[in-house]
Each structure stands twice: as structure tokens, then as C-alpha cells.
Amino acid sequence: MRQLLLAVTMWCVAMPATAADIRAVGPAGSERIRIDGAVAPGDRDRFAAALAVTQTNGVLIESTAGDLTEAAAIGSLVREALLPVTATGPCGGGCVLIWVAGVARSTRQGLDPGGLADDAAAVGRYLARMEIDAATTAQLLASGPLTPVEAIDLLGAASPAHTARLAKHCGTLTVPERADWQAAQALDTVEAALNAMAGGMGGGQSMYVVDAETERQAAAARALDPDYRRALTARQAGITQCRRTAVTEWRATQPSSGR
């Protein structure tokens, strides 16, 4: 019995209860690394180990607490590896530091920066490396919980430097062209919904469900020349493929620990 108790005690020391759950999820070749729970000392190395054995396409995170220094270390690896980050649930404290490191980022429930002001100087230096200016940092540290829209409005949905690098390498649609392309996408959505409804009239249950904004954009697209719409769609598809290839190649050249 004494030996059993000693073994259990040693296991508890080696695997602290506060460590985050870090694991690969998704199909082989397109995995993402998932982080759940409070980030603790040692989690940076565990994250690096996961990077080393996973051809990951991004990070999923849900965490409301944890060690800020360790979270910043994970965030540095995320940015170095050019990974997007999605906060799939509550994201507070150190989670915010990891989230903002994503070259593209999204959040389903918003962010809670509570606790970041406890080490404002170090957090400010880290956020500066993540392209967050001093005024935005001050606003973040003084903020309460942010909705998803507020988080994106304040911190942005992508790294400006990464976005500019991709645009230079692959090109980009102009602002008017992008609006027209989005309208063309809306028209495709409306037409698909109409076709589904027509198919359902033979006995299926399909209903036409399209929001008013999509309807408005589709109406604008109908006024565009069909050849122009097709050309825009083809160009955007080429840009998207170019960006995927470029990011894959850039990641392969990163001197990230373990990769």
C-alpha cells in the first residue's frame, strides 16, 4: 500500500492538475492543436512538442485563467508558426495573449482581459510584438469582458504584417472588387437556397431561409455582368490557393522549436 501511495504521489507531481489539456484534433494532415484549461508552467514545452509532431493548421483554445508568462511563451510559438487561432469558448487572462498571437483570429464568445493589468509592463511589451499599439493595449487592459464583435473591432481579425505579406505575394482584390465578389457569393447562396426549395417541392422538407442582407447583396450581384462575376470568383479562388501554398511554405522555413 505504501508503494502504491508513493507512486500516486510521484505521478501527481509529474502531471500537475492545473496543466492545460493540449492535444491534436482533426484528421491527419489537417489537424489543429486544442488547448483547454488553465495554462501552467511547462505548457509551452508541451505545446512545442505538439507542434513538432503535428502538421497543424491552427489552434483552438478555451481557457479562462493561467500563467501569463507561459501563455505569452505559447503565443510567441503560435506567431512564429504563422497559425490562426479560434477561441471556441470562454477566453480570459492568458488565453487572450495566445489568441492575439494568431495571424488570423476569431472568437465565438468574446474575450475577458481581466488579470492582464496585473503585469501591465510585460503584457504591453508582448502585445507590441504582436502588433498591438500602446493606445490599444491601454484600452484592452482597462476593459471588461468584450463581445466577439468588440474583440475584433479592438484587436483586429488578423496580423497586419502577415496580411500585407500575403497581399504582396499573392495579390488581392480591390475594395470595390471585394464588395462585388461578396455580392456574387451572396447570389450563389440565394440560388442554392432556391434550388433546394424547388427540389423539396417534390415531397422534401426544404425551406427558403436567407437573411435580408444576403438578399440585398444578391440583388446587387444580379446587376453585374455575369462574365465579370465569374472572373472575380476565379481570381479570388486563385488568391486563396496562393495564400494557402505560401503559408505552408513559410511555415516550413520557420526555425520554431521542435518543428
pLDDT band at 205 (very low <50, low <70, confident <90, very high): low
- Judge whether residue 90 has pLDDT over 70: yes
Over range 77-99, report the average pLDDT: 96
- Partnered with residue 63 across adjacent β-strands are 91
- The proportion of the chain whose per-residue pLDDT surpasses 70, expressed as a percent, equals 87
Q: How far apart are CA 116 and CA 100, in angstroms?
A: 13
Mean pLDDT for all residues in the chain: 87
Over range 179-198, report the average pLDDT: 89
Q: How far apart are CA 104 and CA 82, in angstroms?
A: 9
The letter for the amino acid at 152 is I
pLDDT band at 252 (very low <50, low <70, confident <90, very high): confident
Closest CA to 100 of 123, 118, 66, 119: 123
91 by DSSP, 3-state: which? strand
Dig out the grid coordinates for 227 from the structure.
462574365
- Write the DSSP assignment of 192-245 as a string of letters: HHHHHHHHHTTT--------HHHHHHHHHHHTS-HHHHHHHHHHHHHHHHHHHH
CATH numbers and ranges of domains, the chain: 2-158 (3.90.226.10), 166-252 (no CATH)
Q: Which range has the top average pLDDT, 42-56, 86-100, 244-258?
A: 86-100
- Cβ–Cβ under 8 Å, residues 36 and 20: yes
Q: How far apart are CA 193 and CA 75, in angstroms?
A: 41
Over range 132-142, report the average pLDDT: 97
- Judge whether residue 242 has pLDDT over 60: yes
pLDDT of residue 30: 81
Q: How far apart are CA 259 and CA 257, in angstroms?
A: 6
pLDDT of residue 208: 65
Distance set, CA 182 to CA 75, 186, 199, 220, 241 (Å) = 32, 6, 26, 10, 17
- In tens, the pLDDT along 140-182 reads 999 999 999 999 999 999 999 999 999 999 999 999 999 999 9
pTM: 0.80
pLDDT of residue 207: 66
Range of weakest confidence among 142-151, 171-180, 203-212, 247-256: 203-212
